[in-house]
Structure 1
């Protein structure tokens, strides 16, 4: 079956409200975040227009559409957390805040006229590979199915909120929300607020809301390593030079890249990380006046084992009289209070979850079915742990590609760099199918298995496997999330796809 594109008439409709519905396309992309949009732009640069982006929400942006909590910002420098082929010369600060990143994404949509390729309010509920036609059948909620030759997962690894199961939460009569769905209509001024979690989102919004609240209780299960942040703004001269001299902007980006890349060294050599840890401990003692609180805020695991966070304002927040750090575990929640295991009752008006996201794809894909060759379901294929080839291709799933798949998230540099490498690799595979006049391509089983054996070997002796439990790992300790080496090595290994690693299907 040959898949061809429907004609699109988009001249007189608001595509965010009135949807065009495609039934057949060459390439279907799930998700309109950085990954989906980067793929779309590169397709257009190659003159390929027979594709569609399927987005479950009513706007683009992914993570940066959802996470609009107070203080939301990126912990990767702005000139690195942007597409190399779509640069922005006038970033406000070295570390951009969420609204500016979201606006950058909106500007990409306008510059490349991408909205006509996006179907909003389109939630994919299952996908199935047709072994006779060599196409993907994509089932969509409340719509007819879409068929595509190639399918790209660009939904990202951090999009399903982690909501803890706390006894009595259903009884609570106050306001409750997760950081990724912040209720901006709720006024925190003068309120008694409990924040559960001390991860990447929490350390950003806690300093923002503390001055407003009557009382803020920060419930910490595990302390986080937080290091200083370079908050410098770019001045007018910087922006002028970036805009006028592209080589100057590229040089700045390169310097940021290599400084980030150097962070791998202490990760693979924990003895070096322990030296940095001493400085981080001194940073906590310097910023927190109360010695007992400083001690509670100091992690008991090697720095880097869990995600290292960056903030200049988080620790000083605990010097405020209206902020209490609570390290006793929660026993239950009542109609208006949190009760801890020590029996103490703290009355609250609002509960905020700063508990991050579900990261194990076997769990966050629980309501999504993906069937490959011989009817195998993706979660079943991953029952012993999520694995793929360079985080892109998965054995048994022809013409299915993923962005930021297993073992390609980073703990030291910009994932945008990884996304760009993966998009380049995927387009090579698609072009290979076209040139070979075949219909599908799938990674060989033995190639994927050998690749993952080597990947897991590389984690041995790193700080990531130094004893703590992190979101990088599945139950049992296997690290399924991170790339365990330099990103330049990933770029080098994926720069030119080795087609001998794949089977072609007719």
Structure 2
């Protein structure tokens, strides 16, 4: 029994599209890309919260075979990553393989027929000689297990399902979470909300973000002489790999590298937050490199605004109109924003 497809790719993000392009190069043209969402881009389709941006230099965060000379900033905003994904899909004619709104529920290898049988939530199963899972891990929202969260009567927004039409102006907003997403989001909410309370379980190491607009002259050079952009990509990749290898993989062997990272972030915090008590609350109690650090020039200053409050006492429960912490204090809110990461 012949398979319907040469290969089934699960996911239409950068991993899935890259897999399809390489399969084409290997001579496979009978492909099916199954995507749960309504569009391509994976992380950059699902996430669209205010402040969304890549935290790896844009030239590095792109396919090596498809450089983009038109990035507007060193760290491109999310909308540009989405447009880049659309461009790649169009240039390499990937849309002909894509089936959106298709939830894969399982896959079984059929030894007798030497193919995969892939089950879908709706519709008949499909078969393929090869199965490639490009499902990623930054798209499935994680909801916090907090007592009473389902009873809250106000607006609830998870960062993976941002409501673009909802206006936070004049609202009392609570954000749960202080990870990489929250670091980008909190300064933006602080600009519009009447009152913002951030519930922090664990502080995060934040270093300065050396971000800037890419000059038009540089973009023209990248477009006219692609080798210049490849050199920029190589430099950015080398620095990134060096930081990852020294800061994570060889954490114990290179303690001085982590010590320098910690001092760099502490200096950044001290420069932006003068209040010693607030500074202590924002300082992690784990060493640099134990958890993912991030970059921002606006995160720390947001907490120095009069209408922004940092709450470090754990949440006891959520009721219809507010949040109560373990010390018995309670705060009335209108909007609950869940920056609680991914499952």
Same fold (TM over 0.5): yes
Q: Give 1:160 deviation, angstroms.
A: 1.6
Contact kept, 8 Å, 2:34 with 2:100, in 1: the verdict is yes
Q: Give 1:284 deviation, angstroms.
A: 0.6
Which residue in the other structure is 1:301 paired with? 286
Which residue in the other structure is 1:96 paired with? 76
Query: Which of 88, 92, 109 is matched with 1:129 structurally?
Result: 109
Q: Give 1:108 deviation, angstroms.
A: 0.8
Alpha-carbon distance in 2 for matches of 1:142, 1:276: 49
Which residue in the other structure is 1:284 paired with? 269
Which residue in the other structure is 1:57 paired with? 37
Which residue in the other structure is 2:209 paired with? 229
Q: Give 1:279 deviation, angstroms.
A: 2.1
Query: Which of 125, 136, 140 is matched with 1:160 structurally?
Result: 140
Alpha-carbon distance in 2 for matches of 1:27, 1:145: 14
Which of the pair has the greater relative contact order for Cα pairs under 8 Å at 6+ separation?
2
- Structure with the largest fraction of strand: 2
Alpha-carbon distance in 2 for matches of 1:87, 1:278: 35
Instruction: Please state whether the residue corresponding to 2:191 is helix, strand or coil.
Output: coil
Instruction: Please state whether the residue corresponding to 1:262 is helix, strand or coil.
Output: helix
2:30 is the counterpart of 1:45: no
Greater shift, 99-108 or 170-179, is seen at 170-179
Contact kept, 8 Å, 2:47 with 2:139, in 1: the verdict is no
Instruction: Please state whether the residue corresponding to 1:210 is helix, strand or coil.
Output: helix
What runs of 5+ residues in structure 2 fail to find an aligned partner?
Answer: none
CA deviations on 1:444-466 (whole Å, 9 max, x unpaired) are xxxxxxxxxxxxxxxxxxxxxxx
Q: Superposition RMSD on alpha carbons, in Å?
A: 1.0
What runs of 5+ residues in structure 1 fail to find an aligned partner?
Answer: 4-23, 359-506
Query: Which of 49, 53, 57 is matched with 1:69 structurally?
Result: 49
The runs of at least 4 consecutive aligned structure 1 residues that moved more than 3 Å come to none
Q: Give 1:56 deviation, angstroms.
A: 1.3
Which residue in the other structure is 1:340 paired with? 325
Q: Give 1:166 deviation, angstroms.
A: 0.9
Q: Give 1:295 deviation, angstroms.
A: 0.7
Instruction: Please state whether the residue corresponding to 1:271 is helix, strand or coil.
Output: helix
Alpha-carbon distance in 1 for matches of 2:143, 2:29: 40
Which residue in the other structure is 2:9 paired with? 29
Which residue in the other structure is 2:316 paired with? 331
Alpha-carbon distance in 1 for matches of 2:137, 2:198: 26
Which residue in the other structure is 1:198 paired with? 178
Q: Give 1:131 deviation, angstroms.
A: 1.5
Alpha-carbon distance in 1 for matches of 2:149, 2:21: 45
CA deviations on 1:347-391 (whole Å, 9 max, x unpaired) are 000000101112xxxxxxxxxxxxxxxxxxxxxxxxxxxxxxxxx
Alpha-carbon distance in 1 for matches of 2:241, 2:145: 38
TM-score (norm 1): 0.66
Q: Give 1:44 deviation, angstroms.
A: 2.2
Alpha-carbon distance in 1 for matches of 2:264, 2:61: 27
2:296 is the counterpart of 1:316: no
Alpha-carbon distance in 2 for matches of 1:278, 1:113: 48
Which residue in the other structure is 1:260 paired with? 240
Q: Give 1:252 deviation, angstroms.
A: 0.9
Alignment of 1:474-493 (within 5 A): none
CA deviations on 1:373-419 (whole Å, 9 max, x unpaired) are xxxxxxxxxxxxxxxxxxxxxxxxxxxxxxxxxxxxxxxxxxxxxxx
Alignment of 1:459-474 (within 5 A): none
Q: Give 1:47 deviation, angstroms.
A: 3.5
Alpha-carbon distance in 2 for matches of 1:161, 1:82: 24
Q: How many residues matched?
A: 338
Which residue in the other structure is 2:123 paired with? 143
CA deviations on 1:203-244 (whole Å, 9 max, x unpaired) are 101000102111100000000001111111111110011011
Q: Give 1:272 deviation, angstroms.
A: 2.5
Alignment of 1:102-121 (within 5 A): 102-121=82-101
CA deviations on 1:166-222 (whole Å, 9 max, x unpaired) are 111122100002101111121100000000000011010100010211110000000
Alpha-carbon distance in 1 for matches of 2:17, 2:176: 33
CA deviations on 1:81-130 (whole Å, 9 max, x unpaired) are 00011110111000011000000001111111211111111111111111
Query: Which of 202, 225, 228 is matched with 1:248 structurally?
Result: 228
Q: Give 1:303 deviation, angstroms.
A: 0.5
Alpha-carbon distance in 1 for matches of 2:116, 2:28: 19
Alignment of 1:175-186 (within 5 A): 175-186=155-166
